[in-house]
Chain A
Amino acid sequence: MKKYLNNLITCVICFIFIVILNFALPRLMSGDPVAYLTGVDEESMSVVQYEYYRNALHLNDNIFVQFGYYIKSLFDGSLGYSYRMEATVSSLILSRIGATLQISLVAVVVSCGIALVWGLSAGSKKGTFDKISTTANVIINTLPSFTVGMLLIILFCFGVKIFPYSGLNSPNIEKGTAEYFFDRIYHLILPVTTLTVTFLPSRYLIVRNTARAVLNEKYLLFARQRGLGRRKIKYGYILGNVAQPFIAMVGMSVGASIGGSVVVENLFSIQGMGTLLTDAVYALDYPLMQGVLFVTAFIAVISIIITDVICILTDPKLRRARL
Chain B
Amino acid sequence: MKKHTVIALILALAVIFSLTACNVELKKEKAVYIGTTAVIEKAVRGEYNYDMFASGNSEIPLVWQDGADHEYKPLLASYQTVGNKTWTYTVQQGMTWSDGKPVTAEDILFTLNYDDANGEAVFNDKTATDGKVTEKKYEGYALSADKKSISLTLVTENARELSNMTSFRIMPKHVYEGKNEITDADGRVVCGPFVLESFNKEAGVLTYKVNPYYPQKPKIEKLVYRIFGNEDLMYMALKNGDIDTVWAYSQSVNANYYDVLKEVDGLDFIQTPAVGVRAVVMFNTSIAPFNDGNLRKAVSYALDYEAFKNTFGSAGVSVANRGFVPASVSGAKQTEKLKKDYATAAEYLKKSGYVKANGGKYYKKDGAELEFALTVRSSNATHLRYAELVKNNLEDFGIKVNLDAVDSNTFNVKTSNKFSSDNGVGVSHQAAINGFTEAGMGMKDGFASIYVDKSHPVQGGCQVDDEVFLGILENMRKAKTKEEYNAAAGSLQDYYADNVPLIALYWDNLNYVHSSKLSGLKTDAVFGINNVVSWLNADISER
Contact = CB atoms under 8 A, between A and B. Distances in A.
B26 interface: yes
Tier of interface size on chain A: 35 or more
A284 B203 contact: no
Interface string B104-133: 000000000000001110000011110000
Interface string A270-296: 110001000100101000000000000
A103 interface: no
Contact of A153 (B17, B204, B233, B422): B233
A179 B25 CA distance: 15
Given A49-B119, A166-B229, A186 B409 contact: no
Contacts of B226: 166
A183 interface: yes
30 contacts: A30-B409, A30-B410, A31-B409, A31-B410, A31-B412, A31-B419, A32-B422, A42-B419, A46-B119, A47-B126, A48-B126, A85-B41, A92-B41, A154-B236, A158-B240, A166-B233, A167-B202, A170-B203, A171-B26, A171-B203, A182-B15, A183-B22, A186-B19, A265-B229, A266-B230, A267-B233, A268-B229, A269-B230, A271-B202, A282-B379
B232 interface: yes
A35 interface: yes
7 A-B pairs closest in CB distance: A46-B119, A48-B119, A269-B229, A266-B229, A167-B203, A171-B203, A171-B205
B307 interface: no
B171 interface: no
B41 A43 contact: no
Given A43-B412, A171-B207, 7 more contacts: A31-B413, A42-B419, A46-B118, A49-B118, A166-B233, A167-B204, A267-B230
B337 interface: no
A43 B437 CA distance: 15
Interface of A: 29-32, 35-36, 42-43, 46-51, 85-86, 92, 99, 150, 153-154, 158, 161-173, 179, 182-183, 186, 265-271, 275, 279, 282, 284
A270 B26 CA distance: 20
A186 B118 CA distance: 47
Contacts of B240: 158
A282 B226 CA distance: 20
B15 A186 contact: yes
Interface in B29-54: 39, 41-42, 46
B541 interface: no
B358 interface: no
B418 A43 contact: yes
Contacts of B409: 29-31, 35-36, 284
Nearest to A275: B229
A92 to B, nearest CB: 8
Contacts of A171: 26, 198, 200, 203, 205, 207, 224
Contacts of A282: 379
B217 interface: no
Contact of A42 (B23, B198, B229, B418): B418
Contact of A165 (B19, B26, B202, B237): B237
Contact of B229 (A47, A179, A270, A284): A270
Contacts of A42: 412, 418-419, 422
B228 A47 contact: no
A169 to B, nearest CB: 5
Contacts of B119: 46-49
Contacts of A43: 412, 416, 418, 458
Nearest to B230: A266
A185 to B, nearest CB: 8
A47 B232 contact: no
Nearest to A271: B201
Nearest to B128: A47
Nearest to A98: B202
A279 B412 contact: no
Contacts of B230: 266-267, 269
A234 B125 CA distance: 81
Nearest to A29: B409
B203 A50 contact: no
A167 B205 contact: yes
A186 B21 CA distance: 13
A92 B205 CA distance: 19
B183 interface: no
B423 interface: yes
Nearest to B379: A282
Contacts of B204: 166-167, 269-271
B408 interface: yes
Contact of A186 (B16, B120, B207, B228): B16
Interface string B482-526: 000000000000000000000000000000000000000000000
B20 interface: yes
A153 B119 CA distance: 48
Contacts of A271: 201-202, 204
Contacts of A279: 39
Interface string B60-71: 000000000000
B227 interface: yes
A170 B20 CA distance: 10
Interface string B1-33: 000000000000001110110110010000000
B319 to A, nearest CB: 31
Interface centre among B204, B224, B408 (most CB of A within 10 A): B204
A169 B203 contact: yes
Nearest to A168: B202
Contacts of A85: 41-42
A102 B198 CA distance: 24
A126 B200 CA distance: 52
B266 to A, nearest CB: 15
A29 B408 CA distance: 12
A172 B26 contact: yes
Contacts of A86: 42, 46
B382 to A, nearest CB: 15
A153 B126 CA distance: 54
